[in-house]
Chain A
Amino acid sequence: MLVHSRTGRWTAWAGFAVLFVPLFALPFLVIVAASFSTNWSGAFPSGPTTAHYAAAVRGESLQALTTSLVTAVTASLIALTAGTWAALAGAALGGGGPWGRRAKRVLDALFMLPVAVPSVVVGLAVLVAYSQPPVLLNGTRWIVILAHTVLVTAFAHQSVSAAVVRLDPMYEQAAAGLGARPSYVLLRVKLPLLLPSLNAAAGLCFALSMGELSATMMLYPPDWTPLPVLIFTRTDRGALFTGSALAVVLMAATLLALLAVSRIRTKASYR
């Protein structure tokens, strides 16, 4: 306990509330409030309605939600596979002497790079590369999914390799000592032990992809409009309340997915 006096503690809490509530709590309340309103010209919104939600689960909006979900799930699964593979391969390299360690550092740096490169630039790069032969993806949904995959792979790799480092080598050795070949060790020991981290990484990738706007804005074809893009085009046209309802749908979908993943995680944590 840092502050021992009663008044001191209350001052600290009051200061915390003054900063925290308007900055962090209020924005979400405001969006939720707006999504149920038709008008906001005074201090508070007015004209309560659920029409925006009725619209948000139909037609274009529903399609945008499905688009986002399909994109996020596909990108997350590919990213998780590639990221995990790279993390495990990196760990194997790291055990192979000074050259191996150097190679592991290069591998880690390469997979970390998309975190540092602006998403807009990732979008631009993918656009430039796949608008020309040999592979033409421009104008298809695949270019969006590709960009999302690139963007989230770095995060998948980062969290899985952190978990691989924490994985005690004694389990692997115990398994090998009992006669398990490396592939058996991977499937029956390493991956099950990594499962909690894999789940966490999956949740992270999913959330990132669901909210991705920067690269998507450069790439999306008319028939593959993810939810964030739709929220932008709606609010840009002045339909702020519809946009808010869509934003709430986006947040809810993300939260539900994270919740589901965290339930698997608690089931799968052994210690």
Chain B
Amino acid sequence: MPTTGTPRAIPPWVWALPPVAVLAVVFLYPLALVVQESLAPGAYADVLASASFREALVTTLWLAVASTAGCLVLGFVLAVVIAFVPFPGGKAVSKFIDVFLSFPSFLITLALLFLYGTVGMANGLWTDVTGDTTGPFQFLTTPWGVLLAEITYFTPFVMRPLLAAFSQMETAQLEVASSLGARPLRIVRQVILPEALPALAAGGSLVLVMCLNEFGIVLFTGAKGVTTLPMLVYGKAILESDYAAACVVAVVNVALSVGLYVLYRGVSRRAGA
């Protein structure tokens, strides 16, 4: 290839170096240190053998899976209504969902305290009506409280890709299906659901990763009985100053989340999201 006589342009990989170098200094190097720290003698054996770690792992996993399932069901139902049974104000609801996404998660827990806390709205209604001294809603400091908060907070993350997918769907399909005599539920099952599957898969795996990593909701719940992996990292590092153990838990958590995230990228790329 004749290239004589012209000054060579700077090759593109040189341009990629500065941002990668910055990322390496502020993120990759620290992450590597965490891995290195976790390799302290005996750290893995101690942590993996401890009951608190295993409990946290189980709690994290089932909470994440249950929240994701809840978000998928709720998000699908709400998105179908917004997209296919349009009502005045539907646009505002979609906007509200976008705004919802930009608020921090712990606000939900704060709100739930007023709704279902020991002296909250629900229990207050109960005591006002029945005259009892305490109400029946005491689930907030249990895993169920966390589950409710996570489903509430993460459902919009499922709805957004779903609404995007639905907006690209041809209404002609629905019209043809219904002219062929299909009832709404059948259309949802046989026409809408198959179209929604890629978006559901993408949204669901994103929510799963975010649930695994969720910290604010659990922290605000203040439940001693609910310890997740991120809580354990925080507890070991800040409260107990046991950095080696914190790093081990962190590595396990990262392995879980990154593994799932890779899956999510694969799924969402196929879904075109």
Which residues of A are in contact with B by a Cβ distance under 8 Å?
1-4, 8-9, 12-13, 15-16, 19-20, 23-28, 30-31, 33-34, 40-45, 82-83, 85-86, 88-90, 92-93, 95-96, 100, 103, 107, 110-122, 124-130, 146, 149-150, 153, 182, 203-204, 207-208, 210-214, 217-218, 228, 231-232, 235-236, 240, 243-244, 247, 250-251, 254-255, 258
Query: B125 — which chain A residues lie within 8 A by C-beta?
Result: 42-43
Q: In the complex the two chains form, is B124's CB within 8 Å of A211's CB?
A: no
- Looking at the complex, which one of A12, A45, A117, A211 makes contact with B81 (CB distance below 8 Å)? A12
Interface size range of chain B in the complex: 35 or more
A204/B102 contact (C-beta < 8 A), A27-B112, A214-B216, A235-B220 known: yes
Q: In the complex the two chains form, is B114's CB within 8 Å of A31's CB?
A: yes
Q: In the complex the two chains form, is A117's CB within 8 Å of B254's CB?
A: yes
Q: In the complex the two chains form, is B215's CB within 8 Å of A118's CB?
A: yes
Query: A150 — which chain B residues lie within 8 A by C-beta?
Result: 26-27
- The docked-state distance in angstroms from the alpha carbon of A235 to that of B107 is 11
Which residues of B are in contact with A by a Cβ distance under 8 Å?
9, 11-13, 15-16, 18-20, 22-23, 26-31, 33-34, 37, 74, 77-78, 80-82, 84-87, 93, 96-97, 99-100, 102-108, 110-115, 119-121, 124-125, 127-128, 151-152, 155-156, 171, 174, 178, 184, 187-188, 192, 209, 212-213, 215-216, 219-220, 222, 229-230, 233-234, 237-238, 243, 246-247, 250, 253-254, 257-258, 260-262, 265
Binding site of B, secondary structure by majority: helix, strand, loop or mixed?
A: helix
Q: In the complex the two chains form, is A129's CB within 8 Å of B87's CB?
A: no
Give, as a whole number of angstroms, the nearest-CB distance from A5 to chain B.
9
Query: B26 — which chain A residues lie within 8 A by C-beta?
Result: 126, 146, 149-150
Give, as a whole number of angstroms, the nearest-CB distance from A34 to chain B.
5
A228/B106 contact (C-beta < 8 A), A16-B78, A82-B23, A125-B33 known: yes
- How many A-B residue contacts, CB cutoff 8 Å? 262
A124/B237 contact (C-beta < 8 A), A1-B174, A207-B102 known: yes
Q: In the complex the two chains form, is B184's CB within 8 Å of A114's CB?
A: no
Query: A116 — which chain B residues lie within 8 A by C-beta?
Result: 209, 254, 257-258, 260-262
- The docked-state distance in angstroms from the alpha carbon of A149 to that of B96 is 27
Query: B246 — which chain A residues lie within 8 A by C-beta?
Result: 124
Q: In the complex the two chains form, is A110's CB within 8 Å of B106's CB?
A: no
- The docked-state distance in angstroms from the alpha carbon of A251 to that of B107 is 9
Q: In the complex the two chains form, is A125's CB within 8 Å of B234's CB?
A: no
Q: In the complex the two chains form, is B16's CB within 8 Å of A122's CB?
A: no
